[in-house]
Amino acid sequence: MDLTATQWTPASYTEFLTFLESKRNEKAQARATKIVRTNYPLLGISMADLKAWGTAISKGDPMGFLAVAGTEVYEVILVRAYVISRLRLNLPDFVAACDRYFATADCWAICDMAIHFKQVKRYPAEFLATIDRYLQSGQPWLQRSGLVFLLKFYLTPDFRDQAFTRVLSVTSDDYYVQLGQAWFLATAFKDDPDRIYQILETLPVPLVQRTVQKIKSLSRTTPDQKRVLTGILARRRAE
């Protein structure tokens, strides 16, 4: 199927779904279902293929594709994300595309496609309003998506403090939200370990545990830093 040449209609989209089904990989599907807990049917198609197809679509009729694409299978949702990531959109249209996309999220992997949405770099200050809306929504998958935007695009000199403030403002017992917060703090640790040590003294213990585990898993974390982190976690657990 020539995805760049395709003009997207309900009929050509149905052909695309048939094309996806033909690429089903049962072994990969079995592995993926253990990692990605989604309610959408999952075909086991590689991320490399999904990215290549999203890129091809973006070079042809991307807006037509987005107009007809649905949520029939998990993989088509990720293709949508790759298509969106390649578009040059103004801020209102980008926000609208994000809202439509993240409304489909029911697992961490759909949320984490935010790392590909580099349009944020064109208007980082303005897009913070969308991130705030996601973080304040009370919906775990939207909150996770907002956290991923912050860790990917806002750990910069101009926005670092604002990003920390937003991440630490989120109060949630949800496992995947806390993992998003831990991921942010682990990403920030390389350049700001003392700040992270101080923050770990104030966070809820489950979030401290997830953050320490994430930081210690990074190859760049030194043995001395791991000892400090272990000490903080032990002290917090004993409180």
Say if residue 186 is in the same domain as residue 142.
yes
Question: Which residue, 156, 203, 216, is CA-closest to 177?
Answer: 203
Is the model's pLDDT at 230 over the cut of 90? yes
pLDDT tens, residue by residue, 16-54: 999 999 999 999 999 999 999 999 999 999 999 999 999
pLDDT band at 197 (very low <50, low <70, confident <90, very high): very high
Overall number of domains in the chain: 2
Distance CA 150, CA 208 (A): 19
Is the model's pLDDT at 173 over the cut of 90? yes
What is the sign, positive or negative, of the torsion defined by CA atoms of 192, 197, 202, 203?
A: positive
Domain boundary among the residues 63, 87, 111 is at 87
At residue 24, the pLDDT reads 95
Residue 107 covered by a domain: no
50's tokens: 């999904």
pLDDT band at 214 (very low <50, low <70, confident <90, very high): very high
At residue 179, the pLDDT reads 97
Question: Which residue, 183, 194, 192, is CA-closest to 218?
Answer: 183
Q: Give the pTM.
A: 0.93
Say if residue 163 is in the same domain as residue 238.
yes
Say if residue 234 is in the same domain as residue 157.
yes
pLDDT tens, residue by residue, 106-121: 999 999 999 999 999 9
Residue 190 covered by a domain: yes
Domain that holds residue 197: 123-239
Say if residue 58 is in the same domain as residue 129.
no
Residue 111 covered by a domain: no
Say if residue 142 is in the same domain as residue 226.
yes
Q: What is the DSSP code (8-state) at residue 125?
A: H
Say if residue 83 is in the same domain as residue 128.
no
At residue 1, the pLDDT reads 85
